[in-house]
Amino acid sequence: MPAHLTGEDLDRLPGSPPPPYLLDLGLGQRCSLVRQRSARGHRASHPHSPGQTQCCANPLKPHRVPRVARVHSCRSPHSLRWRLPEFGRYGRGRLGVGKRLSGKAIPVTIIRRARQSDVGALSELVRAAYGGYVERMGREPAPMRADYSALVEAGAVWVAVRSGLVVGLVVLEVRPDHLLLDNIAVSPGVRRTGIGRRLLGFAEDYAREHGLGEVRLYTNEAMTENLDYYPRNGYTETHRATDNGYRRVFFTKRL
């Protein structure tokens, strides 16, 4: 699978009913992608030349995009545009994402529900993400002991996929009054590329969709990097306690 998603790749996404894909346009915004077919060969004028992109100036929260329409460029039969609604403080406009199939493509990360075929990749990802903490903690972190086959079967796991590879995961549990973010992990090879933050944002949107106004999570005291990371993303420490033999730090975020 190519490192980036092109128009042809988008055409191969499942059609009806369309699953909720999270499309990272690399433009400071994220959109949930729902495909809409358009007639081949349709010619449409656009103020930007093929291969260029236009985006709003401010980073945006994810939005449900009602449709993605393919429009061939009048300049070349091998060039196309994907037209998406643009969301900004000045109202809705049109966002033309123009890329040539034979040249540059749109870098994307797709977030989808995990499948049983992902279980092996999930286990490898967790070992890579948490293995460095074993010596620091003196034992395996709890995520390394989880039964991912059972979690996937329960529909609790969502994965971030880039270039056809599972590069991140988040385990979510809907509680009566909040969403528990039980585990979030990113492959070491793609850290500091924003995937962790996108997974956090996905969890928060998931909570909102279920009518919940709070996300709770916890981390281990030995994972000191997380003690700075979560507050930077709006989470507040509530307490510390020993839970299942682990010294844990608990956080919450009101949405």
Do 219 and 127 share a structural domain? yes
Domain boundary among 37, 65, 100: 100
pTM: 0.63
Do 149 and 42 share a structural domain? no
Alpha helices in 4-130 (DSSP H): 7-11, 119-130
Rounded average pLDDT over 182-199? 93
The tens digit of pLDDT for each residue in 112-121 reads 999 999 999 9
The tens digit of pLDDT for each residue in 243-253 reads 999 999 999 99
Classify 83 as helix, strand or coil: strand
Do 150 and 24 share a structural domain? no
**Pairwise CA distance, residues 220 & 242, whole Å:** 10
Residues ≥6 apart with Cβ < 8 Å to 153 = 116
Split at pLDDT 50, 70, 90, the class of 38 is very low
Domain that holds residue 140: 110-254
How many angstroms separate the Cα of 65 from the Cα of each of 8, 37, 242? 19, 14, 43
Q: Phi, psi at residue 125, to the nearest 5°?
A: -60, -45
**Pairwise CA distance, residues 165 & 14, whole Å:** 18
Contact 181, 171 (CB under 8 A): yes
Q: How many domains does the chain have?
A: 2
- Percent of the chain predicted with pLDDT > 90: 54
Q: Smallest Cα–Cα separation from 162: which of 203, 108, 198, 200?
A: 108
Domain boundary among 67, 100, 133: 100
